[in-house]
Structure 1
Amino acid sequence: MSASYWRQVQEADFRVPVDRPLDDLTAELTRMLGSNDPVVRDGTAYPALATWTSRGVYDDLLSGLGDGMAAGLTVGLGERESDSVFRRSFSVLVLGECVARDNAAGLVPPNKVLEWGDRISTWYLRERDLRGYVPGKGWAHAIAHGADAIGTLAESPHLAQAELTVLLDVLADRITLPVESQFVHGEPDRMAAATMSVLRRNVLPLTVLEPWVARLAAAATARVPRGTDPFLRRGNSESFLRALYLQLALAPNPPAVRPDLVLVLVDALRRTNPYYLTTGE
């Protein structure tokens, strides 16, 4: 359909058009998620699908919609700096909306949510296009969008201690993977926010969290070969630990483990930032 058609949908507060079948509209919007035009992708396709999902338009079709978005995570997977990243990155956002709708209304079987979680986690660790803002094409931001979806998954009542521990491990794996350029578009903050969603479930004990922080601190202090950029090996872990400490210390609705975990993080930050924390004497 023409741009004017979807502009009219936007101007009508994203009310579902009645002149075309919902299946056709959904298929078109799904294709539009992969557009390299941010007006089409960010301004139309994603908000339309997200709004219709949250309003219950897809309540009887939620499993199918989520499966379609999960399939979108494999489109072009492994490519770097190609436009296929937009389809994957915005598919995971819509899949997160499907999980959020189930969190609110309990519409799909628990195994379906767990399956979506597996698909998100697998994609997140295999994604190789780590660009944030792409000049002329807008946000790709796969790492941030994946973190958002993981944070929503953490709020699902279908995930218990074992599954929440896996989510933390997925985040740590992603943070510590080697990169060709450091995350500079707020990704560590979004990943810390996802971690806070896990912590707010109040089911993970310090015996799980302390070695998890220690693993990240070890990555932030890892030795690197002489003549290589140490921030490509350690910088993301350092940034994440700082972001998590900030959110944990200042959050208005902290998890129960905050007092003990803050002390663990302070110790990790002292070890990973020794040059900035001396007395100067």
Structure 2
Amino acid sequence: MSGQYWKQVHARGLAVPEDRPLGDLTAELTAMLGETDPELRDGTAFPALSTWIGRGVYDDLLVGLGDGMAAGLRTGLGETGTDTVFRRSWSARVIAECLERDNARGLVSTGTVLDWGDRIATWLLREQDTRGFVPGKGWALAVGHGADALAALARSPHLGTPELTVVLDVVADRVLQPVDSLFVNGEPDRLAAATMAVLRRDEVPLQVLEPWIARLAAGATGRATYDDRDPHLAGGNAEAFLRALHLQLALGSRPPAVRSDLLLVVVDALRHTNPWLSPTGASAPV
């Protein structure tokens, strides 16, 4: 349908049109998630799907919708610099909405949620296109949207301590992966928010969190050899993540039970990764 049709839908407060089957409307909106025009993708398709999910339009169809979005995570996976990233990234963002609806209403089975979680994690760790804002095409932001999906997953009552620990491992694995450019569009903050969603469940003990932080700190202190690559690429994302986590632990609302102890662990990690900040420490980096 034309863009004008969807403008009219939005003008009517996103009431579900009665002139076409819901399945046809959903298929069209799903296809639009892969559009390079941000007005169609960010401004039309995602708000419509998100609103309808939140209003319960898909309550009896949530499994099918989530499965369809999970299938979109495979579209062009492995490519970088191509337009397929939009379908993958925005599919993840819609899965987050499906998960939040289930968190509120309990509409799908544990097996379904865990399957979605597995597919989110597999995609996020294999995603090669980590661009944030793409000039002329708008937000790709795959890592940021993946973090949003992990946060929604972490809030799911279907997840227990083992699954929540896996979510933390996925966050660390993503942060520590080699990159050609650092995250500059808020991805560390959103990954930290996903971590806070895990921590607020108060199910992962400090004895699990301490080595997890130590792993990140070790990655943050890594530096690439001096060749034609920026040495900061080796640990810059991990360092940014630790800083974002520290900020959210220190200032965030609804602190987890381990907040005080974990803050000390994170501060110690930041001291280790920034020895030049100490009055008696090393010189500041070049």
Q: TM-score, normalised by structure 2?
A: 0.97
Which position in structure 2 is the counterpart of 1:195?
195
Quote the offset at 1:109 in angstroms.
Answer: 0.8
Quote the offset at 1:95 in angstroms.
Answer: 0.7
Unmatched runs of 5 consecutive residues or more in structure 1: none
Which position in structure 2 is the counterpart of 1:232?
233
Which position in structure 1 is the counterpart of 2:97?
97
**2:172 and 2:78 mapped to 1: Cα distance?**
20
Quote the offset at 1:280 in angstroms.
Answer: 7.8
CA contact (8 A) 2:144 2:190 kept: yes
**1:114 and 1:137 mapped to 2: Cα distance?**
33
**1:187 and 1:66 mapped to 2: Cα distance?**
23
Which position in structure 2 is the counterpart of 1:121?
121
Q: What one-letter code is carried by the residue in structure 2 that aligns with 1:95?
A: I
Q: What one-letter code is carried by the residue in structure 1 that aligns with 2:101?
A: R
Quote the offset at 1:278 in angstroms.
Answer: 2.4
Which position in structure 2 is the counterpart of 1:21?
21
Query: Which SS does the other structure have where 2:202 is aligned?
Result: coil
**1:82 and 1:222 mapped to 2: Cα distance?**
30
Per-residue Cα deviation, 1:74-115 (whole angstroms, up to 9, x for no partner): 000001010000000000010111111100000111100000
* Equivalent residue pairs, number: 281
CA contact (8 A) 2:223 2:233 kept: no
Which position in structure 2 is the counterpart of 1:48?
48
Which position in structure 1 is the counterpart of 2:75?
75
Which position in structure 2 is the counterpart of 1:254?
255
Q: Percent of aligned pairs with the same residue? A: 66
Which position in structure 1 is the counterpart of 2:107?
107
CA contact (8 A) 2:200 2:257 kept: yes
Per-residue Cα deviation, 1:42-73 (whole angstroms, up to 9, x for no partner): 00000100110011000000000000000000
Q: What one-letter code is carried by the residue in structure 1 that aligns with 2:61?
A: L
**1:242 and 1:278 mapped to 2: Cα distance?**
20
**1:279 and 1:223 mapped to 2: Cα distance?**
22
Quote the offset at 1:224 in angstroms.
Answer: 2.5
The 4+ residue runs of structure 1 with deviation greater than 6 A are none
**2:144 and 2:31 mapped to 1: Cα distance?**
21
Per-residue Cα deviation, 1:10-40 (whole angstroms, up to 9, x for no partner): 1111110000000000000000000000000
Q: TM-score, normalised by structure 1?
A: 0.98
Q: What one-letter code is carried by the residue in structure 1 that aligns with 2:265?
A: V
The alignment yields a C-alpha RMSD, in angstroms, of: 1.1
CA contact (8 A) 2:224 2:232 kept: no
Query: Which SS does the other structure have where 1:128 is aligned?
Result: coil
Query: Relative to 1, partners in 2 of residues 1:230 and 1:61: Cα closer, same or farther, differing over 3 Å?
Result: same
CA contact (8 A) 2:154 2:167 kept: yes
Quote the offset at 1:2 in angstroms.
Answer: 0.8
Q: What one-letter code is carried by the residue in structure 1 that aligns with 2:60?
A: D
Q: What one-letter code is carried by the residue in structure 2 that aligns with 1:275?
A: W
Q: Is residue 283 of structure 2 the alignment partner of residue 278 of structure 1? A: no
**2:232 and 2:95 mapped to 1: Cα distance?**
32
**1:252 and 1:193 mapped to 2: Cα distance?**
11
**2:234 and 2:36 mapped to 1: Cα distance?**
30
**1:167 and 1:275 mapped to 2: Cα distance?**
32
Quote the offset at 1:252 in angstroms.
Answer: 1.9
**2:44 and 2:181 mapped to 1: Cα distance?**
30
Q: Is residue 165 of structure 2 the alignment partner of residue 165 of structure 1? A: yes
Which position in structure 2 is the counterpart of 1:30?
30
Which position in structure 2 is the counterpart of 1:215?
215
Query: Which SS does the other structure have where 1:151 is aligned?
Result: helix
Quote the offset at 1:225 in angstroms.
Answer: 1.6
Query: Which SS does the other structure have where 2:248 is aligned?
Result: helix
Unmatched runs of 5 consecutive residues or more in structure 2: none
**2:149 and 2:32 mapped to 1: Cα distance?**
20
**1:243 and 1:167 mapped to 2: Cα distance?**
17
Query: Relative to 1, partners in 2 of residues 1:161 and 1:280: Cα closer, same or farther, differing over 3 Å?
Result: closer
Which position in structure 2 is the counterpart of 1:186?
186
Which position in structure 1 is the counterpart of 2:135?
135
Quote the offset at 1:279 in angstroms.
Answer: 5.0
